[in-house]
Amino acid sequence: MPETDTARRMDLTLETERLLLRAPTVADYPDSRAMWADPGVTRFISGRPLGGEESWSRLLRNIGHWVALGFGPMVVHEKASGRFVGEVGLMNFRRDTEPALPDAPEIGWVLAPWSHGQGFAGEAVRAVLGWGDAHLGAGRTVCMIDPENAPSLAVARKCGFVPCGEASHRGARILVLERRSDVSLV
C-alpha cells in the first residue's frame, strides 16, 4: 500500500449510532492499560491481567498495524459520553496456532467492563467488518474465541461468523470461526 494510503487510513474514523472508532494513539495508553489490567477482561484472552509494560507493548503493536498494514485494532468511544469502550479491529498477528489459522484478516474485540452487555461489541464489530469488506478485499474474516467465552461467541454468531475448526494457541484450545464478506451485516 502506498505511504499516502496508510497515512490517510491512520485518520480513519468509523461512526455508528452510539460509537466512534478510530486508529489508536499513544494517548490511549491510560484507558487501554486500565482495561487490560482487569481480570474479568483478560479471563478468556490471556488468562491473567496485563501489567503496564505488556499493555504498552500491545498498544504499540496496534499502532504498528496501522502504520505497516493500513488496518488494525481501533479504539472505541461512546459518542454520548466520550467514554472509552474498548478496542475492536482487524489484525494480522501471524499467530502460531496448530493448525494454522486460515489466511484471512482476524478480527478481535475487547471491551471495558462497564460497557459489557450493552450491544457495543456487536455494533463495533459490524462497523469494522463493513469497512474491511469494502476496503481490504479479503473475501473472508476469521476470529478465534475460547470455547467457554459465551458472550463473544454470541457476538461472532450475530455478526455472521460460523465455526470452521479448532486450533491450539499457547497451549489452549480455541474455536476458529469465519465469515465470508458476502454475508449480510444487518
- Cβ contacts of residue 46 below 8 Å, gap of 6+? none
User: Helix (H) and strand (E) counts for the chain?
Assistant: 6, 9
* pLDDT, tens digit, 9 for 90 and up, residues 34-87: 999 999 999 999 889 999 999 999 999 999 999 999 999 999 999 999 999 999
* Band of pLDDT at residue 6, cut at 50, 70 and 90: low
Q: Are strands 106-111 and 97-98 parallel, antiparallel or unpaired?
A: unpaired
Q: What is the DSSP string of 92-155?
A: -----EESPPPSS-EEEEEE-GGGTTSSHHHHHHHHHHHHHHHHT--SEEEEEE-TT-HHHHHH
pLDDT on residue 1:
45
Average pLDDT over the chain, rounded to whole? Answer: 92
Distance CA 63, CA 84 (A): 17
Most confident of 95-104, 155-164, 169-178: 155-164
Q: Residue 171: pLDDT above 90?
A: no
Question: Contact, 71 vs 18, CB < 8 A?
Answer: no
- pLDDT at 5 (0 to 100): 64
With both helix axes pointing from N to C terminus, report the angle between 3-10 and 52-69 in degrees, rounded to the nearest 10.
130
What's the pLDDT tens digit per position in 74-102? 999 999 999 999 999 999 988 888 888 77
Q: Report the predicted TM-score, pTM, of the whole model to 2 decimal places.
A: 0.93
Stretch among 20-24, 62-66, 166-170 having the lowest mean pLDDT? 166-170
- Residue 2 pLDDT > 50: no
Gap between the Cα atoms of 176 and 186, Å rounded: 22
Distance CA 81, CA 28 (A): 16
What does DSSP assign to residue 7? H
Q: Where are the domains of the chain?
A: 3-180
Helix (H, G, I), strand (E, B) or coil at 44: coil
CATH architecture type of domain 3-180: 3-Layer(aba) Sandwich (3.40)
